[in-house]
Amino acid sequence: MRSPVHFLFAASALVLSLTSGCGQPASAPVAPPGLPVDAGPPVDGDWLVSRMGAEMENLNPYTSSDAYASAILGLVFDTLLQRDNETLELEPHLADSFEFSDDHLAYTFHLREGVTFSDGQPLTAADVKFSFDTLKNPEVDAPHLRNYYQDVTDCEVVDDYTVRFTCSKPYFRHLLMLGGFEILPKHIYGEGDFNTHPNNRNPVGSGPYAFEQWDTGQQIILTRNERYWNEEKKPRIVRRVYKLIVDNNAAFQVLLRQGIDLMDLLPEQWVNRGASGSFLTKFNRYSYYRPYYNYIGWNSQRPMFKDKRVRRAMTMLLDRESIRENIYYGLAKTISGNFFIDSPEYNADVLPWPFDREAAKALLEEAGWVDADKDGVREKDGERFSFELLITNAHPVAEQVGTLFQEELKHAGVDMSIRPLEWASFLQSVDARRFDAVMLGWSMPPDADPYQVWHSTQVEKGSNYVGFNNAEADRLIEEARTTFDKDKRVQLYHRFHEIIHEEQPYTFMFCSKVLLAVDKRFQNVTMYPLGPDTLEWWIPTALQRYH
């Protein structure tokens, strides 16, 4: 149950072993299954080869904050609780039972006995306490996670297989977060600098897969954890290979040659090349909305973006409906706020700001940005309205949107340059607040809490990269955290949505469909509310490709 994570624009890093998030029912396959119904009982064997669109900085479950790493870490590490794929309710996992006090201030977990890490060492309450204490350590580079545990004051080892957490105040997500952090082996991670630990490139956990190798710039390989404690849910697929292919066209060609089994498609690929008869003989296609959105974030520490009128003008100069139709081929929903558009928390009464050139220009004039010297670029107090938009170089959609926006801004007297960076450098720049504007996205868990991204305490070292600071928004976020009545919490979030819409710290763009291609040899590909669970997949012996 990982916290919200960075998500590449237009999302090319699906977390398919889903343990968090909140979505809507997925669509049925577009193409009929290409395998016989009588494929026989499930058998072991074969590999699942996926495309990885960018390379992560590390594979540390606490210090990493991007979705590429999350996809892998979710298979290597286990948590105390997990979500049921169908109901999304929390259920026992590493803990075989749990209870909490009526005042929501004490949570006790009883661990399963006999669980080991992939190296054979037993997993005990000492490992849980070590993991929690590490996560809480302010020296550990995990502010994006730590804010969810700020009111958890202690983790007590009751006995070898029992831990009890004590909280200073109630929080509606305590059970989710305490049951959801990855359990690390103390004997591995307990020595050395955790932030630069050598196992950041060689993770060791108790999950269904074990790390095998990382060939920089090429691939990451996991093998089935033969010591995995849950025999009933031990995966049938014995190896997971993540091939690093940055270029989308190159990746699609590898997919066509069936060198990749699983890949999310761009809208253009889905509508055109992915709809051909030859493609559909090899792959099944699935599409569904997941809790995700993309945006352009405005760094409010920059002079031109301190004024909400300017930020709103920027939004009104982005022709989102044209982009949705022509770049996304209609496979996206235009949004106005930070919650999943199909969730109760999303305020449907708040409509996206319209594309309106003249209204935007009027707002810029009102905010004091005028082209007094008639050189085509507005200025204020001697400073030209010139800024840089940071994008990742791993996705052509970002460049397409940026180029269209650049042209529109030019006509409005705003000079915008586009700076593409490779993924790791991109994240470093965002984390260090070295940007004017940035194009990014967020993936969200169920019952999302906006604290991490929007509370003012997260401006310096948290995920509030754009520097949003609003006293009423802070109060609403804090009150919602201690509100267990969901209807009341939704009301608070609806008001928060109104504030975000008015302030426009982000130009909210789209909740886009996941467009997934899966090789037809895979069986038991079930579409749950959050998408497929690849741990359930298997391949008939006659169709297995790798040995």
| pLDDT classification of 133: cutoffs 50, 70, 90 | very high
CA distances from 357 to 151, 296, 405 (A): 46, 18, 12
* Interval 443-461 mean pLDDT: 92
Instruction: Check if the beta carbon of residue 145 is closer than 8 Å to that of residue 36.
Output: no
The reported pLDDT for the residue numbered 189 is 98
- Span of 68-72, 120-124, 295-299, 510-514 with lowest mean pLDDT: 68-72
The answer to whether position 282 is within a domain reads no
Q: Which of 1-10, 441-450, 477-486, 520-529 has the lowest mean pLDDT?
A: 1-10
Residue type, 120: G
Asked if 459 and 428 touch (Cβ cutoff 8 Å), the reply is no
Q: Is residue 390 part of a domain?
A: yes
Q: What is the pLDDT of residue 40?
A: 87
User: pLDDT digit string (tens) for 208-236?
Assistant: 999 999 999 999 999 999 999 999 999 99
CA distance 50 to 69: 13
Q: What percent of the chain has pLDDT over 90?
A: 89
- Within a domain: residue 226? no
Token pair recorded at residue 149: 């545990």
Yes or no: say if 391 and 420 are a contact pair by the CB < 8 Å rule. yes
Residue 385 lies in a domain: yes
Residue 541 has pLDDT above 60, yes or no: yes
- What number is the average pLDDT over the span 259-263? 97
Q: For position 3, what pLDDT does the model report?
A: 36
The rounded distance, in Å, linking the Cα atoms of 474 and 454 is 8
Distance, CA of 349 to CA of 516 (rounded, Å): 31
Separation CA 495–CA 311 (nearest Å): 20
Model confidence band, residue 2 (pLDDT cutoffs 50, 70, 90): very low
**Number of helices and strands in the chain (H, E):** 16, 24
32 contact partners, CB below 8 Å, separation of at least 6: none
| Residue 120, CA atoms < 13 Å, CB-side half-sphere | 0
Res 78 pLDDT > 80: yes
Contact 384, 378 (CB under 8 A): yes
What total number of domains does the chain contain?
Answer: 1
Residue 183, pLDDT above cutoff 60:
yes
Neighbours of 477 (CB within 10 A): 22
| Residue range 332-357, pLDDT digits in tens | 999 999 999 999 999 999 999 999 99
Give domain status of residue 409, yes or no: yes
pLDDT at 302 over 70: yes
Distance CA 116, CA 114 (A): 6
Q: How far apart are CA 377 and CA 385, in angstroms?
A: 6
Joined tokens for residue 244? 């690093």
413: left (phi over 0), alpha (psi -120 to 50) or beta: left
Q: What is the pLDDT of residue 446?
A: 76
In a domain, 190, yes or no: no
Q: What is the spatial distance between Cα 272 and Cα 447, in angstroms, rounded to a whole number? A: 36
pLDDT given for residue 447 in this prediction: 85
CB atoms within 10 A of CB 104: 16
Q: How many CA atoms lie within 13 A of 454 on its CB side?
A: 27
* Mean local confidence (pLDDT), 154-176: 97
Query: What range defines the domain where residue 479 resides?
Result: 292-512
For helices 357-366 and 308-316, the axis angle rounded to 10 degrees is 160
pLDDT at residue 201 is higher than 70: yes
Residue 461 binned pLDDT confidence (cut-offs 50, 70, 90): confident
3-state helix, strand, coil in the chain (%, to 5): 30, 25, 45
Q: Give the pLDDT of residue 38.
A: 59
Please write the tens of the pLDDT for every residue from 465-524: 999 999 999 999 999 999 999 999 999 999 999 999 999 999 999 999 999 999 999 999
The residues near 137 (Cβ < 8 Å, ≥ 6 apart) are 194
Q: How far is CA 374 from its chain centroid? A: 44
Whole-angstrom distance, CA of residue 102 vs CA of residue 348:
34
Could you write out the three-class secondary structure of 498-525? HHHHHHCCEEECEEEEEEEEEECCCECC
Assigned domain for 489 exists: yes
In a domain, 136, yes or no: no
Question: What local confidence, expressed as pLDDT, does residue 394 receive?
Answer: 78
**Once rounded to an integer, what is the mean pLDDT over residues 417-429?**
94
Looking up residue 379, the CATH number of its domain turns out to be 3.10.105.10
> pLDDT tens across 11-45, in order?
333 333 222 333 222 233 333 334 444 578 999 99
3-class SS at 96?
A: strand
